[in-house]
Amino acid sequence: MSESRIDALARSLASGTSRRGALRALFGGAAGGALALAGATVGRDVAPVAAQAVCCGQGLTNCSGSCANTQTDVNNCGACAHACTAGASTGCVNGQCLTCSGGALLCDGKCVNGQTDPDNCGQCGATCGATQGCIKGVCVTCSTQIIVGGSAVAGLPLTACNGTCVKLWEDNQNCGACGKACPPGYYCGKSACVPSLCNTGAEILTMCLSSCVNPLTDHNNCGSCSNACDPEMLCLNGSCVFCAPGAQLCGGACVRTFGDPNNCGGCGAQCAAPNVCYGGACCPPSDALCWLA
């Protein structure tokens, strides 16, 4: 205790102040000074931290002062600063970068065919009307015009079924009514399912213009008779789809055979570990000649 404090205590006692009051005066001043000092220290240390802190809500992550959803944010996908490649067909889904191939669109976390999807016709969110179908990325009202030999001619009216203009009189998936599919061994003829004359036992074929075809893969009768795919498209599971340039259809998927270890140089050609696929050839990681070939 300093001499000034001792003198103050002596004067208080001499003046008749009670012992308790003297002690309160003595230590009250000291405590106040300590608290004032502590308050100044706390204010100086805490204020900058509070100014920099960002409180993010549930499911969000503080990424350099901004709240981000790492499950969907293309600039912070899975982790802060992990950005996905920019593009209309690339997005962040469940914390992983997803890129749609074959010209497909990424809409609401799913890859869709913008050429035929009635809910995303030409672009995400573009919905076709109840009497329309999505044809080549454009919502078209189903009418009496059908395509025969590359030309539009008048015929039976087309019907909109799930966003596609169909011919109910010969569509195996919509025979006579939307959603009425013919069972295996039958085909749709004059809006009724009749026994197929093209049943080879190995696969169910459909008769189109007196020819037996597989509508799941036939380029000129894709999905239904006379529904021809454009030259740059393929018939896959009854739908006309695009494969990106340099890609090849393997097992129902478009793959780049020059870099795919499961289809290296051709469909089904797998590279044994630790080899990698480069330029369509399986190369050991240490074989420089293979990489330069």
Work out the average pLDDT over 261-278.
88
**pLDDT, mean over the chain:** 75
- pLDDT at residue 43 is higher than 60: no
Of 159, 163, 153, give the one whose Cα is nearest residue 171. Answer: 159
The pLDDT tens digits of the residues spanning 144-187 come to 555 455 555 555 678 888 878 888 888 888 999 999 998 877 77
The reply to whether the predicted model has a pTM over 0.75 is no
pLDDT level of residue 44 (50, 70, 90 thresholds): very low
Three-class secondary structure assignment of 243-269: CCCCCEEECCEEECCCCCCCCCCCCCC
State the pLDDT at residue 219. Answer: 82
State the pLDDT at residue 167. Answer: 84
pLDDT level of residue 37 (50, 70, 90 thresholds): very low
Of 26-30, 65-69, 248-252, 256-260, highest mean pLDDT: 65-69
Residues 6+ apart with CB under 8 A from 117: 105, 107, 134, 163
pLDDT level of residue 31 (50, 70, 90 thresholds): very low
- pLDDT at residue 271 is higher than 60: yes
State the pLDDT at residue 80. Answer: 93
- pLDDT at residue 275 is higher than 50: yes
State the pLDDT at residue 48. Answer: 42
- Report the alpha-carbon distance of residue 234 to residue 220 in Å, rounded: 10
State the pLDDT at residue 135. Answer: 80
| Higher pLDDT pick, 149 / 206 | 206
Burial class (CB in 10 A: 0-12, 13-18, 19+), 18: exposed
State the pLDDT at residue 79. Answer: 93
| Higher pLDDT pick, 82 / 6 | 82
- Candidate from 58-62, 133-137, 202-206 with smallest mean pLDDT: 202-206
The pLDDT tens digits of the residues spanning 49-77 come to 443 467 888 889 999 889 999 998 989 99
